[in-house]
Amino acid sequence: MKIQRLAWVGLVVLCASPAAAQDASGLWNASIKTPQGALPLVIELAVDGKTLTGTFSNHFIPKIPIRDGTVAGNRLSFTLMLESVTLAYEGVLDGDTLTLTHEVIEGDTKDGQSLGGVLASARVLTATRKR
């Protein structure tokens, strides 16, 4: 009976470990398709327990801090405030791939020309871990 119980505990630990063991910390490369071409992004993330911090940037956009970042297993969420737009992101980490979806929670993105408008037009953002 004791061996059976230990086997079950071991199985639960093995099944839970892949999602829990993943860490979103590091640099991530992403790109957003725009009418003017691809807009490359660098996402820098740091995880401390269940708290997620970091920035979005590229060679001509200064680092924009993420806010209210949280991590639960392989899922993460945060908000990004730029110009007059606030975006709420949710993401799933799968090894070296991070898939983010967002919703505009505040601001006007109709023009599509502002940074907020461009980011809002890309509902799904896929990033790969920078090596």
The answer to whether position 92 is within a domain reads: yes
pTM: 0.76
The answer to whether position 57 is within a domain reads: yes
The answer to whether position 12 is within a domain reads: no
The answer to whether position 5 is within a domain reads: no
| Number of domains within the chain | 1
Give dist(CA 89, CA 75) in Å, integer: 11
Is pLDDT larger for residue 16 or for residue 104? 104
pLDDT at 42: 96
The answer to whether position 11 is within a domain reads: no
End-to-end Cα spacing for the chain: 47
pLDDT by residue (tens digit) across 7-58? 344 434 444 444 445 899 999 999 888 777 888 999 999 999 999 999 999 8
* Confidence check: pLDDT of 61 > 70: yes
The answer to whether position 17 is within a domain reads: no
The answer to whether position 7 is within a domain reads: no
Domain range enclosing 28: 23-129
Q: Which CATH number fits the domain that encloses residue 69?
A: 2.40.128.120
pLDDT at 121: 73
Whole-Å CA distances, 131 to 43, 60, 90: 13, 22, 23
